[in-house]
Amino acid sequence: MPSLVARIAVSAATYWIDRPYDYLIPDEMAAKARPGVRVYVPFSAGNRRSEGIILALSDHSDYEKLKPVQAILDEEPVLDEDQIKLALFMRERFFCTVYDAVKAILPAGLWFTEDGERRVKDKTVEMARLCIPPEDAAAIAQQKRMRSKQQANLLDLLCSFEALPSRELLHFTGAGRQSLKALVSSELVELYPREVYRRPEIYVGETEALPVLNQEQQSAFEGIGALARSGEAGAALLFGVTGSGKTSVYIHLIADQLKRGRSAILLVPEIALTPQMLQTFSSHFGNEVAVLHSSLSTGERYDEWKRVRAGKAKLVIGTRSAVFAPCRNLGLIIIDEEQEETYKSENSPRYNARDIAKYRCARANCLLLLGSATPDIVSRYAAETGRYSYFRLENRYNEQELPAVEIVDMKRELRAGNGGSISSFLRAELAANIERGEQSILFINRRGAHKLVSCGDCGYTYRCPRCSVSLTYHSANRRLICHYCGYSRRVDESCPDCGGTLKYIGVGTQMVEEELHELFPEIEVLRMDTDTVTPAGSHELLFSRFREEKIPVMVGTQMVTKGLNFENVTLVGVISADQSLYAGDYRAGERTFSLITQVVGRSGRGEKPGRAVIQTFTPDNETIRQAANQDYDAFYASELSLRRLQNAPPFRDILTLTASGLDERLVLQACRFAKARLESFLGPQSGTDILGPSPLAVVRVNNRYRYRVILNGKNNAALRAALSQTVCECNTDKRFRGVSVFADNDPMD
């Protein structure tokens, strides 16, 4: 019988063969083998070396012949017991392997290259300190002063400090490296490495007092704070109109938790919001703050993770992946703008940060706080039915009125001869703002110049050869680009089919920018989209320029719609409010309402009153009217009625099985097989509707066809087990070779 057996999740195991594998721990490795430690193991018939992580240890196995662990990679466990259980929860809930979950939980800097080297090594600084008492060192320095002045200076300086970085020591004394080495050889000084953290830039000024709360905020803080201090797991929803001061409530709640010795996590939906949040919170909490998001270097993320794990940072601010931060004694998780789709991962593991936060709060007996001016319909329904506690901030913090909103009918503009993207009314409002020295934000949720280029004579349209979408025209480089696979080409002078005149249809951020330059040639226009903020940190630089240089107009996509606070912005324009309204998705109305409400809320956040202009071809649309009135309650009531008719969340859950491959026929066959197997597993009495196969909105991406089967029912263990089994059967059936099949819980596309 083996003396010590490790149950290991293996990196090389695919989803359909993923399970804990038993391996023998050699006696010489037994002392280091602990749950949460990574190892190298031989895997599969060829004994290919693969990375794995120990999930549990045992003194027996159901198998007689066990392969031995080849090497232990970590001195200390990288996952604790709760994190191991979280990885197992993610496998069951999000249809991923345990190791996929582990990779999501841990920072990239912890992983190893194929050569067995860590991707990021700990950063150290060489330190120097005395080996003898300072009094003796001072006496020796006096003796050396005539013969070796540099050595004497080194000893004198070290007498005043416990330790100094050797580089600084040599710099301030003017001594050479040889003099320092001579002191080391004489055993008067020793050199040793000290670990230092690579850190992103944060506010380093004096700590500011907590913001003063008004009566409404104080009431919300007291109610939410009581829940957070109860020591019981729970969830609360904080609804607050744009500019109502939800952030100030967050600050007080976090301060209360830190005072009690507990830690907190604050999630924001966009990287662009992180610098602003970081500056705000670090001004109150200083070095207690750690930041985790993808714009940091691998070394910075790794070191911030280490600071949190060591308990040196008790407040974590970041985007989706920050929900995995290894906080000790967790007391509160806050998800700001909780309705945002960016909290959902599109790659395996396809988790939603909200679900991970719920799990962690349940395990830690702490509070999950969801905050938004436009809460997710499911979250609002949970509050209405008593599953979440509910708090409201009805008024803006500075008692300013919400922006006055004007809806412009773009059909009338066309009839009046204005074929541009900026209506005459918005143009006049922009001119007035420019004259007063006030700033404006224009929002359009499409980058590039034109949605497509088409021939007016024969109807020819440029399409991506690898995807089932039209190419988007970018005027900056006169190229047509596919936003799905990256394919690009130059546009022709005339139609390549008939030689006719090409027409440029649709509007994007580049086109709006060009039109503004034509209308107001004397002003600068700032553009914010993924074409302009690709380099790490460039979004922060653009926002700083907009604020400090008082640039008159900023044009942008979704990154300008939420969380930003510019006191001099008094006008917001929504260029095409219809753009997301008629997408083939039950969330289309919710997305449109949220986007319009959020961007309108960027106006009038200072002392000056704000205005907003919403341009639309459907001015009588109920959702647009409700967004213009900032009437979330009316929108929620109408949307909930529609969801009830659709059997959509929150009344039923939606899960999908998606197949993709190069051969469209095989993809459809796999989906039909999956549907039949699901019907067999679940039976007619399950209460689950199984729909499809149906194509995705963009059926072909990078030459791979994509179809899915949709399950509409109760997301319970039985449904997930049937879906998991079906995924495994599809991926192992030789008839569907080359077809990839995966499952998802409440997909966003």
Position 363 scores a pLDDT of 95
Of 347, 362, 393, the last residue of a domain is 393
Both tokens of residue 57? 């240890």
CA-wise closest residue to 322 among 347, 343, 348, 297? 343
Mean local confidence (pLDDT), 7-35: 94
Mean pLDDT of 567-571: 92
Of 585, 608, 643, the one marking the end of a domain is: 643
Q: What is the pLDDT of residues 423-432, one digit of tens each?
A: 999 999 999 9
Where are the strands (E) in 107-231, listed by range? Answer: 124-130, 164-165, 189-195
Q: How far apart are CA 440 and CA 569, in angstroms?
A: 5
Do the bridges between strand 653-661 and strand 689-701 make them parallel or antiparallel, or are there none, so unpaired?
unpaired
Q: Report d(CA 589, CA 575) in Å as an integer.
A: 17
The per-residue pLDDT for range 52-108, each reduced to its tens digit, is 999 999 988 888 889 999 999 998 999 999 999 999 999 999 999 999 999 999 998
pLDDT (mean) for 676-702: 92
**pLDDT per position as a tens digit, 321-373:** 999 999 999 999 999 999 999 999 999 999 999 999 999 999 999 999 999 99
Q: Which of 523-527, 665-669, 744-748 has the highest mean pLDDT?
A: 665-669
What Å distances lie between residue 311 and 125, 337, 352, 500, 554, CA to CA? 21, 27, 26, 68, 40
Same domain, 224 and 349: yes
Strands (E), 151-272: 164-165, 189-195, 234-240, 263-267
CATH number assigned to the domain comprising residue 636: 3.40.50.300
What's the CA angle centered on 714, arms 693 and 699, to 5 degrees? 25
Q: Which two tokens stand for residue 691?
A: 């729909």
- Of 383-392, 451-460, 556-565, 656-665, the one with minimum mean pLDDT is 556-565
Residues 304 and 156 in one domain: no
**Are 518 and 422 contained in the same domain?**
yes
Whether residues 551 and 422 fall in one domain: yes
Contacts 24+ apart (CB under 8 A), 623-629: 623/581, 623/589, 623/592, 623/593, 624/407, 624/577, 624/578, 624/581, 624/592, 624/596, 625/407, 626/593, 627/577, 627/592, 627/593, 627/596, 627/597, 627/600, 628/405, 628/407, 628/596, 628/600, 629/405
- The verdict on residue 285 lying in a domain is yes
The reply to whether 206 falls in a domain is: no
Q: Are residues 40 and 168 in the same domain?
A: no
**Residues 246-286 pLDDT 10s:** 999 999 999 999 999 999 999 999 877 777 788 888 889 98
Instruction: Read off the tokens for 76.
Output: 């200390």
Cis bond before residue 349 (omega within 30° of 0): yes
Please give the pLDDT value at position 476.
Answer: 75
Per-residue pLDDT at 740 exceeds 70: yes
Same domain, 487 and 520: no
- Same domain (yes/no): 468, 614: no
Structural domain includes residue 207:
no
Q: pLDDT above 90 covers what percent of the chain?
A: 66
Cis peptide before 650 (omega within 30 of 0): yes
Task: Over range 642-666, report the average pLDDT.
Answer: 96
Computed over every residue of the chain, the mean pLDDT equals 91
Q: Residue 474 sits in which domain range?
A: 453-503
- What average pLDDT does the segment 183-198 reach? 90
- Confirm whether 111 is domain-assigned: no
pLDDT value, residue 270: 83
**How many whole angstroms separate alpha carbon 25 and alpha carbon 41?**
10
**Pair 445, 587 in one domain:** yes
Residue 379, sorted as left (phi over 0), alpha (psi -120 to 50) or beta, turns out to be alpha
Same domain, 522 and 660: no
pLDDT value, residue 1: 44
- The per-residue pLDDT for 204 is 60
pTM for the model stands at 0.90
> Residue 165 CA to chain centroid, in angstroms?
37
Q: Are 446 and 503 in contact (CB under 8 A)?
A: no
- Give me the pLDDT at residue 578, please: 86
Q: Are 726 and 718 in contact (CB under 8 A)?
A: no
Per the structure, the count of domains in the chain is 6
Residue 204 inside a domain? The answer is no
Query: Does 389 or 173 have the greater pLDDT score?
Result: 389
Q: With 80 as the cut, is the pLDDT of residue 391 above it?
A: yes
Return the half-sphere exposure (C-beta side, CA atoms, 13 A cut-off) of residue 552. Answer: 18
Q: Per-residue pLDDT tens for 285-311?
A: 988 999 998 778 888 898 999 999 999
Report whether pLDDT(528) > 90: no
Q: What is the pLDDT of residues 579-608, one digit of tens each?
A: 888 777 889 999 999 999 989 888 888 888
The pLDDT tens digits of the residues spanning 472-515 come to 888 777 889 998 999 999 989 899 888 888 888 878 888 898 89
- Residue 115, pLDDT > 80, answer no
For residue 452, pLDDT beyond 80: no
In this predicted model, what pLDDT tens digit does every residue of 29-52 receive, in sequence order?
999 999 999 999 999 888 999 999
The answer to whether residues 220 and 248 belong to one domain is yes
Q: Does residue 200 fall inside a structural domain? A: no
Question: 607 with 639, same domain?
Answer: yes
Span 675-689, mean pLDDT?
92
The reply to whether 364 and 441 lie within a common domain is: no
